[in-house]
């Protein structure tokens, strides 16, 4: 059910807890708890879509003196206290390429909107943005990665806000009357009792003012919580489930196999330097492109079609695309896939196999940039070369 019409005793119970705690930090913590409870499904019912027209920044700039000036005896409650008050909150769980970079971008964006970072941890960030910019900010954040979860919640806190406002007004009126009574009472015992009650009301007034100020902040600045996970870290974890060790350990940058049981003859071109002292065939050019040829055990024993399908099945989720490319290395057929990464500046990585009975010769080609001409040149050099 909606917060509007929620039983008044619920508010009074919360107020009793809050107003018994004069510390500013404790009051703010209680206010944060209330914000969470007001946005919880048990209070709100269904989540609703945000509407800009329903929000107001009317009292974000009120200070304590202004609140006092509006709360005087025998005057009507200010119109601002009668306006609709809503709290909006968004949650998102994103899979991103660069976790730290994404956090910094979100922090910067919140500042550009006039918001701020409420908290930041290793894999999460919570920001506050002006309520009028909530939709814009939430949509922008969802574009920063692959969305695994998202939700928007809202609560109408108008009645709750006005209950607090009325209680504050009544407390101030009561305290003023006690001050008047104190000037007329001559009995010392009665004066002490009145002063104790004035002290209690003063603590209650200050606590309620702080709570109203916190509530104003929650209304005016919407909260967006973002959980982040690095795609690379997730890939490394999920690859552990791949049953074939050599596929599981394939990397564009690092060599898994450290042995080569074949004769390799290939001329990759003058731009490549060949590392003769390596246990495998390894060559690299000036801009970071690499060629690696190594040998692993053919276990379980499979033909080229089997291993091509295994590469596609187990690695397809880690790249934006995979293009099957069958070529030749001398007289031998190479079954492979050319992968393109998900990065904004995408790299490409070819993984191919030459089946040699109980052995597989792995052919790996890496380019830090999308460069089809580079791959076509190497494929041609393989056709003119020899692997046996």
Contact 117, 126 (CB under 8 A): yes
Q: What is the pLDDT of residues 281-320, one digit of tens each?
A: 999 998 899 999 999 999 999 999 999 999 999 999 888 8
Cβ pair 84, 156 in contact under 8 A: yes
pLDDT band at 211 (very low <50, low <70, confident <90, very high): confident
366 alpha-carbon distance from chain centroid: 31
Side-by-side strand order, sheet with 281-285: 272-274, 281-285, 290-297, 359-367, 348-356, 332-340, 321-329
> What is the tens place of the pLDDT at every residue in 223-242?
999 999 887 666 665 677 89
Q: Are 95 and 159 contacting, i.e. CB atoms less than 8 angstroms apart? A: no
Share of the chain above pLDDT 70, in %: 77
Residue 83's CB is within 10 A of a number of other CB atoms, namely 15
User: Which residues neighbour 53 within 8 Å (Cβ) at sequence distance 6 or greater?
Assistant: none
- Residues 131-153 have a mean pLDDT of 93
Residue 49 pLDDT grade (very low, low, confident, very high; cuts 50, 70, 90) = very low
CB 14 within 8 A of CB 8: no
**Summary mean pLDDT of the chain:** 81
Q: What tokens were used for 165?
A: 């406002």
User: Angle CA(359)–CA(364)–CA(366) in degrees, nearest 5?
Assistant: 170
Read off the pLDDT of residues 88-131 as tens digits, 9 standing for 90 and up. Answer: 999 999 988 888 899 999 999 999 999 999 999 888 999 999 99
| pLDDT tops 60 at residue 387 | yes
Domain-wise residue ranges, the chain: 8-230, 242-387
> Which whole number is the average pLDDT over 55-81?
40
* Measured distance CA(188)–CA(305) in Å, rounded: 101
Tell me the per-residue pLDDT of 8-37, one tens digit each, with 9 for 90 and over. Answer: 333 333 444 444 444 445 545 555 555 565
Report the distance separating Cα 229 and Cα 262, nearest Å. 41
pLDDT at 251: 87
pLDDT, position 5: 38
Q: What pLDDT was estimated at residue 95?
A: 87
pLDDT given at position 79: 53
Q: Measured between alpha carbons, how far is 260 from 258 in angstroms, rounded to an integer?
A: 7
pLDDT higher at 28 or 141: 141
Mean pLDDT score, 199-205 = 92
Mean of the pLDDT values across residues 374-381?
96
Q: Which fold has domain 242-387?
A: Protein Transport Mog1p; Chain A (3.40.1000)
């Amino acid at each position: 059910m909606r917060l509007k019409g929620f039983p008044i005793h619920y508010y009074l119970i919360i107020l009793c807890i809050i107003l018994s705690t004069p510390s500013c930090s404790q009051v703010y913590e209680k206010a944060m708890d209330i914000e969470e409870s007001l946005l919880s499904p048990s209070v709100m019912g269904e989540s609703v879509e945000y509407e800009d027209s329903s929000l107001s920044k009317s009292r974000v700039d009120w200070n304590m003196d202004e609140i006092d000036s509006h709360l005087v005896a025998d005057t009507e409650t200010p119109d601002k206290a009668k306006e609709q008050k809503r709290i909006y909150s968004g949650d998102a769980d994103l899979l991103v390429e660069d976790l730290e970079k994404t956090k910094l971008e979100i922090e910067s964006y919140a500042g550009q909107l006039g918001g701020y970072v409420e908290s930041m941890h290793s894999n999460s960030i919570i920001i506050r943005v002006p309520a009028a910019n909530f939709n814009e900010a939430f949509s922008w954040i969802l574009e920063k990665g692959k969305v695994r979860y998202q939700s928007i919640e809202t609560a109408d806190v108008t009645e709750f806000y006005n209950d607090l406002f009325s209680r504050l007004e009544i407390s101030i009126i009561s305290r003023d009357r006690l001050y008047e009574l104190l000037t007329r009472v001559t009995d010392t015992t009665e004066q002490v009792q009145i002063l104790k009650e004035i002290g209690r009301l003063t603590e209650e007034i200050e606590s309620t003012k702080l709570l109203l100020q916190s509530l104003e902040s929650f209304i005016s600045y919407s909260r967006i919580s973002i959980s982040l996970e690095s795609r690379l870290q997730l890939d490394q974890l999920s690859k552990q489930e791949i049953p074939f060790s050599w596929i599981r350990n394939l990397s564009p940058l690092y060599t898994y196999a450290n042995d080569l049981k074949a004769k390799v003859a290939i001329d990759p071109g003058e731009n490549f330097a060949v590392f003769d002292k390596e246990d495998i065939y390894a060559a690299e050019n000036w801009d970071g492109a690499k060629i690696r040829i190594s040998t692993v055990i053919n276990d379980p024993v499979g033909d080229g079609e089997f291993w091509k399908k295994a590469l596609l099945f187990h690695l397809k989720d880690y790249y934006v695309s995979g293009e099957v490319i069958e070529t030749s290395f001398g007289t031998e057929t190479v079954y492979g896939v050319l992968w393109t990464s998900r990065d904004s500046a995408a790299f490409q990585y070819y993984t191919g196999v030459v089946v040699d009975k109980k052995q597989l010769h792995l052919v790996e080609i890496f380019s830090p940039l999308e460069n089809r001409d580079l791959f076509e040149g190497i494929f041609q050099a393989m056709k003119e070369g020899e692997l046996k």
